[in-house]
A and B are shown apart, each in its own frame.
Chain A
Amino acid sequence: MAHSHKPEKEKPVGPSSKLVSLVAQFDDPDSLVAACDRARREGYQKMDAYSPFPVHGIDDAIGIRRTRLPFFVLAIAFCGLAFALFLQYYVNSTDESPLFPGYKFFISGKPLGVPGVPANIPVTFEIIVLSSAFATFFGMWILNGLPRFANPLHRIPRFRRATNDRFFLVLEAEDEKFNESRSRQQLEEWGATAIEECHLDLTDHEIPKNFKMAGIVLLFALLLPPALIYRAAGMTNRNPRLHVVPDMDWQDKFKTQTVGPNFSNDELVPDYLFGDPSAMRHPVAGTIARGDATGQDEFHLGYKPGSEPAPAHGGPNANTQDPAVQDPAAQAAEPEWLTSFPGGVQVSEATIARGKQRFEIYCTPCHGFDGNGGGLTNQHAQALAVQGKANWTAVKSLHDPAVKSQAVGRIFDTITNGRATMGPYQNQIPAADRWAIVMYVKALQQTGIETTGATAEASSATEAPAGN
């Protein structure tokens, strides 16, 4: 630590530099605090102490007021709270928005909106902490006036020990009480072990040349994006969108009904992957297509096997959307419907109960619980049909005399293959359950529920041929 600050001393002499402060060195924190205390009592206001670590008691000695940082952080924390709650509400509990619609998605039974708030607390908490931490970190640097890279103090070699093992009191020249010689004398009196002058170099104002060049280049570079956007605004591009990552846009696979790979180099002797040019495989011998395995007996058909009319119109499988298209002659030809339950169906209360349960799952959406067509789907569709927004054939009441008179096999067939707008249920409901539903329908028909007028008329009108 010799006096090696000569080069610095030469420079400031002359009009080109200005004395900004006196820097006094102290060797231990206690004398620094004592000196600060004296300085404050002498009336110095513009001064600061520098130390390698926060010295206890220095705040009072210099007269530093408590920082307002905590209040700033608290305010930001509340903003974070509001933002987090809004974000989560908007994103997961709203649906419509002009710009970016929310994603209102009901998941794992967790309620939307305010009742679902417990699930939003963790993220809310994290956002509060994150925003407060940023507020603390950046708030502290801003209040401290940092980063500040050009500081005349850094030019004093002795001052480098402020981050190591020495303590400094700096009296600024701007202070009203400051007087170079008197202040120097006072500092010595207070125990300073060395005193230096801190000069601000007034000549050193020029911006370095390469900084200027870099600035100009940067300015031009900044103009590029808006220029490109302006150019692109009125253009039409026929090329497909740029795929940075192809994802699943293109996949290595053979589509159906295409030619398979040929490994042979000889055109005349092809070598296909599977022995033939088809990229698709044939089913293994003996494969049964879905639905083909259904038994062709009374239990699965609802009529005596072999009694079906000629297959001109597809037999009982007629499921044409528009009943008017159906051929009345063909409609007249009907198989021999079962009039009693086939073997394997036990007529019992348990079966009826099972039928009721299945009925309520599969049938009530249209037919309603009482079978009168009061189901929500039917109601809604009819309402739409009245407004002309939908094409809907009203659901037939199960208490319609035409239905009441139907044989059990006939009802079974309706469930199995559908009628008019009603779709087939053979894939959803096993045959035994279909019989159970038939049994329940029959029981329902015995309850004495009257057909509601309008529905009955509408349904009998639209499906009259089938009803006979």
Chain B
Amino acid sequence: MHERRPGKVTSPIVSLSTSYVKLVPFGLILAALGFGIGYLMSGGDFQRFSFSYLTVFCTALSTMLGCLFFVVSQHLTRAGWSATVRRIGEIYAMSVPLMLLLFLVILVPILLMNYSAVYGWVKDGWTGGSPNPSFQELKDTYLNKMWFGIRIVAYFSIWGLMAWSFFGTSLKQDTTGDKLLSRKMQKSATWKMIIFAATIVFASFDLEMSLAPRWFSTMFPVYFFAGGVMSAFALISLTSLLLQRSGRVTDEITTEHYHDLAKLTFAFVFFWGYIAFSQFLLIWYANLPEETFWYRYRMADLAGSGWKNWSLLLLFGHLFIPFLGLMARTVRRNKTYLLFANIYILVMHWVDHYWIIMPQLGTMKATDPETAPLALPFNPLIDIPMLVGITGIVITFFCVLAADRPLIALKDPRLEEALNYKNV
């Protein structure tokens, strides 16, 4: 019979130890360079910069929220297999409240300067190309800058508290080894999951759906969530791969864990496709003007705007290619393939948010989006540095939070189970 590994961490290096001191400045420089070049290349156009910035922000935020979901769900379901990779998820989840700092770039101009070039509803009488009439009532009660600011701060505080309660308790368990802490986290995961669901619903409405005020889809929060969780699994897998390449936690995270993470990524690629298709099909089929204008802009290639190609990129790049690619067991268990696949998934997640957010730049600039749609604004000199910038931020946050703390839950009571299971 197979010998069982005891539930002990045996890797020689289990933390970033001192290298985080070097990595934090590296991340910061990367961020500064990326965002700086992005701003310069947009020629000082703050609106263009803000939209691009919001895209990378939402890409990163939804991914980190996916990590938070991962942590909560693993506690909720008493999962055993994930004990080795949950800490990485906890660290990313902990970066969510720090993301509020990043959002200030968008939020402060709105609050202080009435800046309406990103969230159009800040300005009176603007409908964002929607055939619906004015929405004064909605603005009076919900979509106004004060409420928006309060809600944003509330979301991030709630997420921060949630992430901290898991991260902190888990760190405490590292030293005490108290298995009752796991039980405590499991119990609180129940109502935390509800709060998470409620906040992510309204956060997705506020951050992305309200860019096109009066465009509405009840499916939108699920869409936001599905993409975020998909890329969260890719990010956790990618981080584990990179950490192991640098000689950390080499013994604990095994092929079996990568296999499972890849299976979950695969599942959420499909789930995202399911949600995206259902949302599209219902709107396409019913053909109501108050809904279709949003898709029409993105898919009908109005006046050769190029958005149609971006939609096709999303369809093939975000659904079909990863679906077929991650179907093979060989790919799921091969670390080299996975390294590439995870980066690819993360880029596709950015493509997805680009597709949601950037067309609104066109409606902001054009007086009538139907007749004068703005071409696909993709400019590699702006958008790619922005992507590099957010990568720098993610690295910084990860390193600051991980510091010299263990990168694996050292005394998790389910570690033994995690170290001993095998996929077929």
- Contact between A and B in the complex (any CB pair below 8 Å): yes
**Interface residue? A57 (CB, 8 A):** yes
**Interface residue? B277 (CB, 8 A):** yes
User: Across the two chains, which residue of chain B brings its CB closest to A121?
Assistant: B277
B residues less than 8 Å from A57 (CB atoms): 1-2
Sample of 5 A–B contacts (CB below 8 Å): A30-B1, A34-B1, A74-B327, A118-B280, A118-B284
Q: Which interface residue of B1, B280, B327 has the most chain A CB atoms within 10 A?
A: B1
B residues less than 8 Å from A121 (CB atoms): 277, 281
B residues less than 8 Å from A110 (CB atoms): 285
A 104-122 to B, binary, CB cutoff 8 A, 1 in contact else 0: 0000111000000011010
* Minimum CB–CB distance for A11 against chain B, Å: 39
**Interface residue? B132 (CB, 8 A):** no
B1 touches A119 (CB 8 A): no
**Considering the complex, which residues of chain B in the window 58-95 have a beta carbon less than 8 Å from any beta carbon of chain A?**
none
**Interface residue? B255 (CB, 8 A):** no
CA distance A235 to B245 in the complex (A): 84
Q: Chain B interface secondary structure, helix, strand, loop or mixed?
A: helix
**Interface residue? A33 (CB, 8 A):** yes
User: Across the two chains, which residue of chain A brings its CB closest to B1?
Assistant: A30
Q: Chain A interface secondary structure, helix, strand, loop or mixed?
A: helix
CA distance A121 to B281 in the complex (A): 9
CA distance A359 to B284 in the complex (A): 34
B1 touches A118 (CB 8 A): no
Name B residues whose Cβ lies closer than 8 Å to a Cβ of A. 1-2, 277, 280-281, 284-285, 287, 327
CA distance A280 to B2 in the complex (A): 93
B1 touches A33 (CB 8 A): yes
A residues less than 8 Å from B281 (CB atoms): 118-119, 121
B residues less than 8 Å from A34 (CB atoms): 1
B residues less than 8 Å from A109 (CB atoms): 287
Name A residues whose Cβ lies closer than 8 Å to a Cβ of B. 30, 33-34, 57, 74, 108-110, 118-119, 121
User: Across the two chains, which residue of chain B brings its CB closest to A110?
Assistant: B285
* Minimum CB–CB distance for B272 against chain A, Å: 15
B residues less than 8 Å from A74 (CB atoms): 327
* Minimum CB–CB distance for A360 against chain B, Å: 24
A residues less than 8 Å from B284 (CB atoms): 118
* Minimum CB–CB distance for B133 against chain A, Å: 25
User: Across the two chains, which residue of chain A brings its CB closest to B324?
Assistant: A74
User: Across the two chains, which residue of chain B brings its CB closest to A31?
Assistant: B1
* Minimum CB–CB distance for B168 against chain A, Å: 38
CA distance A118 to B281 in the complex (A): 7
CA distance A57 to B327 in the complex (A): 24
* Minimum CB–CB distance for B45 against chain A, Å: 36
The 7 closest A-B pairs by CB, nearest first: A118-B281, A118-B284, A30-B1, A109-B287, A57-B2, A121-B277, A33-B1
User: Across the two chains, which residue of chain B brings its CB closest to A54?
Assistant: B424
B residues less than 8 Å from A30 (CB atoms): 1
CA distance A109 to B280 in the complex (A): 16
CA distance A74 to B328 in the complex (A): 11
CA distance A119 to B277 in the complex (A): 11
CA distance A110 to B2 in the complex (A): 59
A residues less than 8 Å from B287 (CB atoms): 109
CA distance A57 to B284 in the complex (A): 51
CA distance A57 to B2 in the complex (A): 8
CA distance A121 to B280 in the complex (A): 12
Q: Given A118-B277, A118-B280, 16 other A-B contacts at CB below 8 A? A: A30-B1, A33-B1, A34-B1, A57-B1, A57-B2, A74-B327, A108-B285, A109-B287, A110-B285, A118-B281, A118-B284, A118-B285, A119-B281, A119-B285, A121-B277, A121-B281
CA distance A110 to B286 in the complex (A): 10
CA distance A108 to B288 in the complex (A): 13
A residues less than 8 Å from B2 (CB atoms): 57
A residues less than 8 Å from B277 (CB atoms): 118, 121
A residues less than 8 Å from B285 (CB atoms): 108, 110, 118-119
A residues less than 8 Å from B1 (CB atoms): 30, 33-34, 57
User: Across the two chains, which residue of chain A brings its CB closest to B280?
Assistant: A118
A residues less than 8 Å from B280 (CB atoms): 118
CA distance A119 to B284 in the complex (A): 9
B residues less than 8 Å from A119 (CB atoms): 281, 285
* Minimum CB–CB distance for B289 against chain A, Å: 13
User: Across the two chains, which residue of chain B brings its CB closest to A61?
Assistant: B1
CA distance A399 to B230 in the complex (A): 70
* Minimum CB–CB distance for B327 against chain A, Å: 8
User: Across the two chains, which residue of chain B brings its CB closest to A37?
Assistant: B1
CA distance A33 to B285 in the complex (A): 57
CA distance A121 to B274 in the complex (A): 11
CA distance A33 to B280 in the complex (A): 53
* Minimum CB–CB distance for B156 against chain A, Å: 37
User: Across the two chains, which residue of chain B brings its CB closest to A71?
Assistant: B328
* Minimum CB–CB distance for A192 against chain B, Å: 18
B residues less than 8 Å from A108 (CB atoms): 285
CA distance A34 to B285 in the complex (A): 61
User: Across the two chains, which residue of chain A brings its CB closest to B287?
Assistant: A109
* Minimum CB–CB distance for A135 against chain B, Å: 15
* Minimum CB–CB distance for B294 against chain A, Å: 16
